[in-house]
Structure 1
Amino acid sequence: MKRLLVFVLILAVISVVIIQLKPVENSTKNFVAKLEISPGLLNKDSLTIKSRVNTPNGYKRVSYPKGSFQDYLRNYKLKSFGAKVINYDGSEYYWQQGHIGILDIPVPKNGLQQCADALIRVRSEYLWVTNKKDDIGFNFTSGHYCSWIKYAEGYRPKINGNRVTFHKLASANHSKDNFYKYLNLIYMYSGTLSLYNELPKIEYAKDLKIGDMLIKGGSPGHIVMICDEVINSKGEKLYLLFQGNTPAQSVHLVKNLEDSELSPWYRLKKDTVIPVSNYTFMNSKFVQFK
């Protein structure tokens, strides 16, 4: 009888272990499946955002004028397929399964150029190359506006808590090297919170376009940018997204981990939960550059 009881007990324990393991196994399989991308949507030998990702069946790309910010982003250069996300210190980021492309943007070794900073850089470089340098400027988190033109003329901020004043402290220097020193200053004193407070809000998701941003303003916060856009005959839109991150790292084109058949395209709605690679926006809000 004792042997029978022991045998029954062993069977019970084994059954409990099996039951507990099954959900874990299924969960792992489901997660791995989410990492997959439909082969027809991906061109691994292509080196721009537009050519790397095909349109889903029934959709076509929304047209934008050549030379526009939207056209600039859609045709942004990518590194070869398989390139890894690299941290500012040269190490590999621990999560390499959430992206399908690395944008050809250097990562400064100073640890700056985090999530908001990367998008500030992309926007500023567009204004630079299109000779719209007068439009380059951003608010500090304190609310004070800092323009590239004033910085190039030699004005520098003196910061005392939330009090900021600008003084002529340097010689005029309009060079590209000085432009990146200006951006480093912006990276230090601006971020998702200042962008959220400064930039126009987008009221309706149907109005979203390339260059608009999904944002959670705060410390910490996060922000990603729309970099391509397609539409079907019903007027339904899908979008591609890229992001920087914290710690500062390679700017990368993200997968859609919620829909492997659609990935890397996203359906975007306002005031909803939107998981993006390694971050989840719990109450989605959108802003756009002026």
Structure 2
Amino acid sequence: MLTAICRLLLFFSFAATPITFPAFDVSMRSVADIPLPQGFERVPVAPGSFAEYLRRLPLRKDKTIYFYNGAVKPNQSLHYAVLDVSTGAKDLQQCADAVMRLRGEYFFGKGMYDSIRFLKGDRTYYQFAAYLKNNAADTRGSFLKFMETVFVYCGSYTLEQSMKRVNDVYSMQAGDVFVKGGAPGHAEIVVDMAVQRSTGKKIYLLAEGYMPAQDMHIVLNPVNTKMGPWYELTDEQKIVTATWVFDKGQLRRW
């Protein structure tokens, strides 16, 4: 009951105040194409890094969010763009699952199967390399089936427990995750960052999945709508996103 009430409060609190967002440009192909506020430039990322992978994530031309069953999400006002990443046909790939999916996709693309591992509630790990030895061949289908198992038995709590706390929010990096473990819980991943050279001010983009399972998307900034999907690093204790409110102490790193 508490979970349902929290979701309703979040939905109506943000839906009641329309968000004016910048026009979506269908020519954008990836996160790297999302325009920056004036005076900002993207921070350098290492070639082949997780941060570079996230910046290269493809965007769909259609910015409509669909649920896992093909239904259109009723509220389409809280996001800027939709990531071109499959959701699956089951109600499994939700918030923390979306974060783990991106992490797994990164390592799968690099052939680093030993690094595709996610913490379970019993403090052991689901490991893709072991899964391949016992169940399947090295195929993309095998990877997606493995991730479905992860989605069932892992979640925001285990994700939070498997990551290290970032004590200084100003040291944020692309790939870091805001995560609140538990029920209700939520997770959003930093997919890009930029800096204003004249002031040193940093901004970042957040992506999320949600419940029920739905297309991953870039969330809008409900506090400063002029920033579109960009969030500014500040001294504020609370980070108010389009669908959740995090404490800055909930920032985690792989």
**Structure with more contact order per residue of length (Cα contacts < 8 Å, sep ≥ 6):** 2
Q: Residue 204 and residue 88 in structure 1: after superposition, are their counterparts in 2 closer, same or farther (change >3 A)?
A: same
Q: Residue 275 and residue 59 in structure 1: after superposition, are their counterparts in 2 closer, same or farther (change >3 A)?
A: same
Q: Residue 107 and residue 38 in structure 1: after superposition, are their counterparts in 2 closer, same or farther (change >3 A)?
A: closer
Match runs of 1:41-190 below 5 Å: 43-51=25-33, 53-80=34-61, 82-154=62-134, 170=135, 173-190=137-154
Q: Secondary structure at the match of 1:214?
A: strand
> Where does structure 1 differ by over 6 angstroms across 4 or more consecutive aligned residues?
none
Letter in 1 for 2:35: N
1:232 deviates by 1.5
Normalising by the residue count of structure 1, what TM-score does the alignment of the two structures yield? 0.77
Per the alignment, residue 267 of structure 1 pairs with 232
**Counterpart check, 1:192 vs 2:156:** yes
Per the alignment, residue 218 of structure 2 pairs with 253
For the aligned residue pairs, the C-alpha RMSD in angstroms reads: 2.1
Per the alignment, residue 224 of structure 1 pairs with 188
User: Do 1:270 and 1:284's aligned partners in 2 also have CA atoms closer than 8 Å?
Assistant: no
Q: Secondary structure at the match of 1:84?
A: coil
Q: Residue 91 and residue 284 in structure 1: after superposition, are their counterparts in 2 closer, same or farther (change >3 A)?
A: farther
User: Do 2:169 and 2:248's aligned partners in 1 also have CA atoms closer than 8 Å?
Assistant: no
Per the alignment, residue 19 of structure 1 pairs with none
Q: Which has the larger radius of gyration?
A: 1
Of 200, 203, 209, which residue of structure 2 is paired with 1:238?
A: 203
Normalising by the residue count of structure 2, what TM-score does the alignment of the two structures yield? 0.88
1:268 deviates by 3.5
The separation in 2 between residues aligned to 1:186 and 1:258, in whole angstroms, is 34
User: Do 1:273 and 1:284's aligned partners in 2 also have CA atoms closer than 8 Å?
Assistant: no
Moved more, 276-285 or 222-231: 276-285
Q: Which sections of structure 1, spanning at least 5 residues, go unmatched?
A: 1-26, 155-169
Letter in 2 for 1:137: R
The separation in 2 between residues aligned to 1:246 and 1:226, in whole angstroms, is 19
The separation in 1 between residues aligned to 2:102 and 2:233, in whole angstroms, is 22
Q: Secondary structure at the match of 1:77?
A: coil
Size of the aligned set, in residue pairs, is 240
Q: Secondary structure at the match of 2:157?
A: helix
**Counterpart check, 1:36 vs 2:20:** yes
The separation in 2 between residues aligned to 1:232 and 1:201, in whole angstroms, is 26
1:56 deviates by 1.5
Q: Secondary structure at the match of 1:31?
A: coil
The separation in 1 between residues aligned to 2:31 and 2:49, in whole angstroms, is 15
1:275 deviates by 2.1
